[in-house]
Amino acid sequence: MDEALLRSLTPGVLAALVSRGADFAAAEDAVQDALVEAVRVWPGERPRDPKGWLITVAWRRFLDATRSDAARRRREDRVEVEPAPGPAPAADDTLQLYFLCAHPSLTPSSAVALTLRAVGGLTTRQIAQAYLVPEATMAQRISRAKRTVSGVRLDRAGDVATVLRVLYLVFNEGYSGDVDLAAEAIRLTRQLAAAIDHPEVAGLLALMLLHHARRAARTAPDGSLVPLAEQDRTKWDTRAIAEGVHALQLALARDRLGEYQAQAAVAALHADALSADETDWVQIVEWYDELVRLTDSPVVRLNRAVAVGEADGPRAGLAALAPLDPALPRHTAVAAYLHERAGDLATAARLYAEAAHRAPNLAERAHLTGRAARLNARRPR
């Protein structure tokens, strides 16, 4: 049985049922029944139109479930006549499913989980493992999300920005368990880019590819973090970089700049440098200026302070950092780095130790603790 085929067809089948009037939760139950039937029947003889077969079987299961539930009999008047078997329609309803799973009534964590379940085709167990939570907890989260969107009508254009935020959240979860969420986010964003012509979709895909290209160089053999400036750039994935740069160039040519395109431009400048010393920090600062204009995000301003420190010197970077809230994530680590660059090793060591205490994971904590220890060892006694 080709599990990859079933997984790729699932979103379109689910979207087809939802577009015909099935509520989300009931539609997903029917699709799961159809998938079970496919696993049983297809090894003997796979249908010529697998998607059409799944839609037909899932729709029948939905009708059967609707008719057997006395509490929902009134819905039968709204249920369409079962479509005749035949090829699945060429139109792909998956785009509507993206918008439904990223509905503004959902919390970000629920939207991400529902997207992975409905569009990504992942099991509840896989999603729970990726988020390091019990399967029962994730099942409840997904169940609540499905109930929330069950009454939502897909009769209006969805918000692309919301969908992109959800996919960006998926990408930033990275890797844990047996599911590579960064790779999954790239797969889903490719799918979205094929369905919708939008420069920010292409910009997000470019950003993901350019960041993911550096993955093999981000950790040492012992699992410790390797900062960007110290990474072995021969380990970067040049094919992913080339694809990301191409997608970014096509997006920028549309002259509708958005935050993901600007972030991708920063990543492309890093990818273009053969060594850390060759990085064009002046251009990177200019792109961060664009990002500040687009988002006015404190996190963007924090990253800009680092770039200013590289382009104009650490004192300029500290001046750019000064107006920002010290409670910002990574603020203390950035301050430590800039003080180190400025030669104030005592302050830098103290700040690295503080940043390690606040680090969100063990790898980052170990990295920052190591930086503090090295600086303390260099200080005169």
pLDDT digits (tens, 9 = 90+) for 277-295: 999 999 999 999 999 999 9
* Dihedral, 357, 362, 366, 372 alpha carbons, nearest 10: -20
1 pLDDT tier (thresholds 50, 70, 90): low
pLDDT in the model for residue 320: 98
Q: How far apart are CA 26 and CA 240, in angstroms?
A: 39
pLDDT tens by residue, 28-42: 889 989 998 999 999
- Residue 321, classified by CB atoms within 10 Å of its CB into exposed (0-12), middle (13-18) or buried (19+), is buried
CA–CA distance, 174 with 185 (Å, rounded to integer): 9
pLDDT over 60 (residue 88): no
114 in Cβ contact with 97 (< 8 Å): no
Helix (H, G, I), strand (E, B) or coil at 29: helix
Q: Is 250 a residue whose pLDDT tops 90? A: yes
**Sequence letter at residue 338:** L
Question: Can you say whether the dihedral through the CA atoms of 362, 366, 368, 369 is positive or negative?
Answer: positive
Q: Tell me which of 51-65, 92-106, 319-333 is least confident.
A: 92-106
Percentage of the chain lying above the pLDDT 70 cut? 89
pLDDT band at 136 (very low <50, low <70, confident <90, very high): very high
Which pLDDT band holds residue 381 (cuts at 50, 70, 90)? low
Checking if the pLDDT of 339 tops 90, the result is yes
Exposed (0-12), middle (13-18) or buried (19+): which is 210, by Cβ within 10 Å?
buried
For residue 308, is pLDDT > 60?
Answer: yes
E strands present in 114-237: 175-176, 179-180
User: For 138-154, what is the mean pLDDT?
Assistant: 84
**Residue 379 predicted with pLDDT over 80:** no
pLDDT tier for residue 331 given thresholds of 50, 70 and 90 = very high
Assess contact for 289 and 300: CB atoms under 8 A: no
Contacts of 68 (CB under 8 A, 6+ apart): none
- What average pLDDT score do residues 61-89 get? 58
pLDDT value of position 71: 47
For residue 180, the surrounding DSSP H or E stretch is strand 179-180
| Residue with the two structure tokens 């093999």 | 216
CA atoms of 356 and 4, how far apart (whole Å): 41
Work out the number of other CB atoms within 10 angstroms of the CB of residue 12: 19
Query: What is the per-residue pLDDT for 137?
Result: 93
pLDDT of residue 162: 85
